[in-house]
Structure 1
Amino acid sequence: MKAEGRTFIVSGGSSGLGAATVQDLLAQNAYVSILDRSPPSKDLESAHVKYFPVDIREVGQIEDAVEKTVAWTKETKAPLGGVVNCAGVGIAGKIIDAHNEPHSLDLWDFAIAVNLTGSFNLTRLALKHIVKGEPESGPDGERGVVIFVASAAAYEGQPGQTAYAASKGGLVSMTLPMARDLARHGVRVVTIAPGVFDSSMTANFSPKTRKSLENEGIIYPRRFGQPYEFARTVRWILETPYINGETIRLSGAGRLPGKL
């Protein structure tokens, strides 16, 4: 799919991997609807950008933002081309804590609501419009692309990541069946599972934790991933029609260690 002249909804687009994705889409002359709790920085201000304040846990707010995005596409003549689900939270809590108390149910619900249910709700509400769009010219007749953002923790979650890993693993598990559901509409579904990236989630890592991950968890390049590398992966997915129903690990061949 050509990003130019199309509109993409990016949740969590105001910072981190989402902001890098927005910047790269703008470089391709796309239009971007940012759904986030916080407004984007000034370097993302553009006639090609609309920001909608959204708590991804609130389905009413998501629906309102999607409807307003669709109205905007009618003004710009840039049809809705896809969704990039970057909104997410990182949480930690052992199933039985140091005081032998069970994992907080509120914390579990929060992780599932943001990382899994929020992505599902935004995607299903956007798809209502994407499947009605005119297909691209050519033999594939593509109408759109859905991208989910999972995590290496979906495969090898560390201690304290039971809820987080479950929320990200759910995204991996629904990628193929959703791709199969949407095949008749010409819509692809792909998930990216990043390893350790420089982002707001990792900014507070201690030097010891960071060094441990670089030395033990990452093979090559032995460093944290950079947001532009994530954004370039999104671009590759959009431009490569045969990528569908897959989860792509973006990890420098790294695997999260069992213990830091």
Structure 2
Amino acid sequence: MVTGGASGLGLATARMMRAAGATVVILDIGAERTAEAAASNGLHGLALDVSDDAAAEACFAEIEAQHGPVSILVCCAGIATPGSVVRRGEPMDLAEFQRVLDVNLMGSLNCIRCAVPQMIRRGRAGPEGAEAGTIVLTASIAAFDGQVGQAAYAASKGGIAGMVLPLARELGEHAIRIAAIAPGVFRTPMTEGLPEKSRDVVFAAVPPFPKRAGTPEDFADAVGFIIGNPMINGETIRLDGGLRMPARL
């Protein structure tokens, strides 16, 4: 299963997994765009707002009934609403900050809590000592190098990075691994859809090498590496070409 799978990092990851022979279900907000992405790429698709707990439970139950228990969960759903905490001397609308946390952080945890019981059931039914499941989350270098105007986004991604190790310790007894990828500057619909000023700031930063923004395929390659290597667990891997973001550009 891949959340945010109808475009960008999620769709590239879903394509990679499909090419490797997996049965892949993509989850994304918007039924029409999700169905279109699934149909054109040989995937299964369901519409889901990852911040909706009841909808997520129903969605995961439907998927298990149709395809069996989840073995791999990749969480790519995310939003990046930029904005200062104080604007022209007035406090920001707290709902804007909350929505970023709800989608990026709580949305990931929401899907994890729904996937893990299925992975546990899968592990119990499989051979002793076999891996029951793998979870890959999407953090960001903003978790470590957050810029001015990124407080909400950095907080959400810092939460992702912060929960990986305790979850790995908790889920290890069930033979489930979890790791996160922290991309640098990547060209995705989310970054391309930022306001012009914010977009210019983001794409002005390039790593020492390669001197380009990352691609969704770069991210998908990293996901494939994590899935295939059983020793990667409890870690957040920076995927940024050595980029360290300044406070502002």
Normalized against structure 2, the TM-score is what? 0.91
Greater mean alpha carbon deviation, residues 80-89 or residues 31-40: 31-40
Identical positions, percent? 37
Q: Is the 8 A contact 1:23 1:44 kept in 2?
A: no
Q: Distance in 1 between matches of 2:23 and 2:42?
A: 5
Q: Distance in 1 between matches of 2:22 and 2:158?
A: 30
- Counterpart of 1:145 in structure 2: which amino acid? T
Structure 2: segments with no counterpart, 5+ residues: none
| Pairing of 1:32-43 with structure 2 (within 5 A) | 32-38=24-30, 39-40=33-34, 42=36
2:135 aligned with 1:141 = no
Q: Structure 1 or 2: larger helix share? A: 2
2:62 aligned with 1:68 = yes
Let me know the Cα RMSD of the aligned residues: 2.0
Q: Give the number of equivalent residue pairs.
A: 243
Query: 1:188 aligned to 177, 181, 186, which one?
Result: 177
Query: 2:232 aligned to 232, 237, 243, which one?
Result: 243
Aligned to 2:14: 22
2:77 aligned with 1:83 = no
Q: Is the 8 A contact 1:31 1:48 kept in 2?
A: no
Which portions of structure 1, spanning 4 or more consecutive aligned residues, are displaced by more than 6 angstroms? none
Aligned to 2:2: 10
Q: Distance in 1 between matches of 2:173 and 2:42?
A: 30
- Counterpart of 2:163 in structure 1: which amino acid? M
Aligned to 1:4: none
Distance 1:109 1:84, change over 3 A: same
Structure 1: segments with no counterpart, 5+ residues: 1-8
| Pairing of 1:189-208 with structure 2 (within 5 A) | 189-204=178-193, 206=196, 208=200
Aligned to 2:151: 162
Greater mean alpha carbon deviation, residues 53-62 or residues 236-245: 53-62
| Pairing of 1:73-152 with structure 2 (within 5 A) | 73-74=67-68, 79-97=69-87, 99-134=88-123, 140-152=129-141
Distance 1:41 1:19, change over 3 A: farther
